[in-house]
Amino acid sequence: MLVASQALLWGAPRGLPTNFTVSQRSLPLPLCTIDTPPHPALSLPDLHVMYLLHLVELASLGDQPHGRGEFYLFCSPCYPCAGNAAAAWPARPARPLRIASVRGGGACPGHRARPSMGEDTDTRKINHSFLRDHSYVTEADIISTVEFNHTGELLATGDKGGRVVIFQREPESKNAPHSQGEYDVYSTFQSHEPEFDYLKSLEIEEKINKIKWLPQQNAAHSLLSTNDKTIKLWKITERDKRPEGYNLKDEEGKLKDLSTVTSLQVPVLKPMDLMVEVSPRRVFANGHTYHINSISVNSDCETYMSADDLRINLWHLAITDRSFNIVDIKPANMEDLTEVITASEFHPHHCNLFVYSSSKGSLRLCDMRAAALCDKHSKLFEEPEDPSNRSFFSEIISSVSDVKFSHSGRYMLTRDYLTVKVWDLNMEARPIETYQVHDYLRSKLCSLYENDCIFDKFECAWNGSDSVIMTGAYNNFFRMFDRNTKRDVTLEASRESSKPRAVLKPRRVCVGGKRRRDDISVDSLDFTKKILHTAWHPAENIIAIAATNNLYIFQDKVNSEMH
């Protein structure tokens, strides 16, 4: 029977259409007034006083960057947990990976000594290689996303090799005061593998485009990771007990003599060293024709959305075989294509609101209450273009590379090539604040276009109290802007300048002829060293900066001295 397909339902009848072509009427949208919820008061970070807490370097081993041999995890003595992660390996082992680190505390805090034969040599190897300057970086080790979980206790990074590395913050301990706040490797696993789409003759990279943590539901943690096409839900659990006792064999697996088996034995759980297990729970595949650029978990804790260049899909976290298309900007004729979706995010509190940004520099806020299909936005945030500034590059540099709701839900932060902007949800005409990230590049757009740097997608981040914003730049510089004092600072994430516990020196890029000491001229900026991915701890002034294959974790001095 060719009966109209009724809305597909998710368990409880929440109907959403699959591929309706609904003619929509525009509604005056009753947007709720958004109040800033009370937020824990944070000490404002003194922008100049950031020091390196922890630096982690990922490096594939050996000469085969894509080799898939045995799993090696060379760990410095600071990584008892990483050793455990290697021992308990339920998910696919990661590619050979070395994680080396420099810690703010300098000396190793009291880690549990593990009697291991090979450890000493390993350690030497690491320290040795770490001291060398790595000019050679394997493509697979380049970090492609950084994300704190909701409490900030865990930090996940994804890289181009499809690996996810999870760091856990060391709990404060009395005998090692400096270790507080330091992030240790908690678990490492291979999330995605390179694939080939035979129908379209397309290679699907394993690069992790985005990681999003789910709100914690029980002792286990869950996260979503995505590459260009496939989203996966992972569960990270700890296990500290192990069953013991077999009836028919001993613990080594040798069979017992059957005649000695005279009574039944039920296995008993005995405590053991902590093991971290990562297991794949769901795979959300085949939802996207184009490349997924963002995923975002809804505040209703049961749905999330994924956006590719032209469409946004809504998924139920428990259902992998269907998703609902909520935005589709694909024109009937691809030649009429003028803009693509570049990023999207759900509102932090209102489950019905989400925003998506476009390559034309506009933001569209959609309300899922109004209609099942959100092709018609409720609000359009767009700054009128300044005609005097128009050039060949105008459209490219106005493309929004990232959009983030503030924690309060009142503001949105967007990053385009040269600026970061803060938008008020209640004001569509223009951003309430605009900060120049590297305006000195405006004159160099032509060469940036030629080396493709102009298409770099920088991300941006809010601090926990929405008072400071942070974004990356070139030459391993990253920028912070204090919204209240209007102060800004440029800092550099580099191994040379990041002595443990040393406060980061602000850097300056000079434009004209006057050059002060320590200034860097525009021409000497290294455009291959770029900081695209940054993350800010949700409550404290701890930031994670991904610079190619290095993850820098900085903490502000004020904050740490309070402890």
Partner 1 sequence: MAGAAGPGTGPGAAGGDGDDSLYPIAVLIDELRNEDVQLRLNSIKKLSTIALALGVERTRTELLPFLTDTIYDEDEVLLALAEQLGNFTGLVGGPDFAHCLLPPLESLATVEETVVRDKAVESLRQISQEHTPVALEAHFVPLVKRLASGDWFTSRTSACGLFSVCYPRASNAVKAEIRQHFRSLCSDDTPMVRRAAASKLGEFAKVLELDSVKSEIVPLFTNLASDEQDSVRLLAVEACVSIAQLLSQEDLEALVMPTLRQAAEDKSWRVRYMVADKFSELQKAVGPKITLHDLIPAFQNLLKDCEAEVRAAAAHKVKELCENLPTEGRETIIMNQILPYIKELVSDTNQHVKSALASVIMGLSTILGKENTIEHLLPLFLAQLKDECPEVRLNIISNLDCVNEVIGIRQLSQSLLPAIVELAEDAKWRVRLAIIEYMPLLAGQLVSMCHMLQCIGTVCENLAGEMTSDLFLGSGCVECFTCSACQNLAGIRHCALSPLLPVYAIREAATNNLMKLVQKFGTEWAQNTIVPKVLVMANDPNYLHRMTTLFCINALSEACGQEITTKQMLPIVLKMAGDQVANVRFNVAKSLQKIGPILDTDALQEEVKPVLQKLGQDEDMDVKYFAQEAISAVAQRLRKLDFPVKDSEEPSDPEADKNHFLRPRGPGEDTGKAHRERAARVAPEEAVGAARFRGTDAAKGPAYQLHVNTETHLPNWKLQN
Q: How far apart are CA 129 and CA 60, in angstroms?
A: 12
Q: Which is nearer to partner 1, 347 or 495 (CB)?
A: 347
Residues 6+ apart with CB under 8 A from 201: none
305 near 344, Cβ under 8 Å? yes
Q: Sign of the CA dihedral 508, 513, 518, 523? A: positive
Q: Which is nearer to partner 1, 324 or 435 (CB)?
A: 324
Q: Which is nearer to partner 1, 303 or 401 (CB)?
A: 303
The count of other CB atoms within 10 Å of the CB of residue 108 is 14
468 near 482, Cβ under 8 Å? yes
* Shortest separation between residue 246's beta carbon and partner 1, angstroms: 5
Q: Which is nearer to partner 1, 172 or 300 (CB)?
A: 300
In the complex, the residues that contact partner 1 under the rule CB under 8 A are 1-7, 12-17, 20, 22-23, 25, 27, 30, 32, 215-220, 222, 235, 237, 239, 241, 243, 246-249, 258-259, 261-269, 277, 279, 281, 299-302, 318, 349-352, 368-372
Q: How far apart are CA 494 and CA 531, in angstroms?
A: 11
* Shortest separation between residue 14's beta carbon and partner 1, angstroms: 6
* Shortest separation between residue 347's beta carbon and partner 1, angstroms: 11
Residues 6+ apart with CB under 8 A from 179: 105, 109, 110, 170, 172, 173
529 near 137, Cβ under 8 Å? no
Residue 523's nearest CA partner among 534, 513, 532 is: 513
Strand 542-547 and strand 533-536: pairing? Answer: antiparallel
* Shortest separation between residue 256's beta carbon and partner 1, angstroms: 10
* Shortest separation between residue 475's beta carbon and partner 1, angstroms: 43
* Shortest separation between residue 305's beta carbon and partner 1, angstroms: 14
* Shortest separation between residue 248's beta carbon and partner 1, angstroms: 5
* Shortest separation between residue 254's beta carbon and partner 1, angstroms: 13
Ramachandran area for residue 548 (φ above 0: left; ψ -120 to 50: alpha; else beta): left
Q: Which is nearer to partner 1, 124 or 270 (CB)?
A: 270
Q: Which is nearer to partner 1, 218 or 333 (CB)?
A: 218
105 near 179, Cβ under 8 Å? yes
Q: Which is nearer to partner 1, 27 or 429 (CB)?
A: 27
The count of other CB atoms within 10 Å of the CB of residue 66 is 13
Strand 468-472 and strand 460-462: pairing? Answer: antiparallel
DSSP-derived secondary structure letter, 27: -
* Shortest separation between residue 349's beta carbon and partner 1, angstroms: 8
Q: How far apart are CA 103 and CA 53, in angstroms?
A: 6
* Shortest separation between residue 323's beta carbon and partner 1, angstroms: 16
Q: Which is nearer to partner 1, 202 or 283 (CB)?
A: 283
Q: Which is nearer to partner 1, 4 or 41 (CB)?
A: 4
Q: Sign of the CA dihedral 71, 74, 78, 80? A: positive
Q: Which is nearer to partner 1, 318 or 446 (CB)?
A: 318
Residues 6+ apart with CB under 8 A from 226: 208, 209, 210, 211, 232, 292, 295, 306
Q: Which is nearer to partner 1, 19 or 201 (CB)?
A: 19
The alpha-carbon radius of gyration of the chain (Å, integer) is 25
H/E stretch holding 201: none
Alpha helices by DSSP H, listed for 237-314, are none
Phi, psi of 401 (to 5 degrees): -95, -20
* Shortest separation between residue 158's beta carbon and partner 1, angstroms: 22
* Shortest separation between residue 33's beta carbon and partner 1, angstroms: 12
Q: How far apart are CA 318 and CA 239, in angstroms?
A: 24
Q: Which is nearer to partner 1, 220 or 510 (CB)?
A: 220
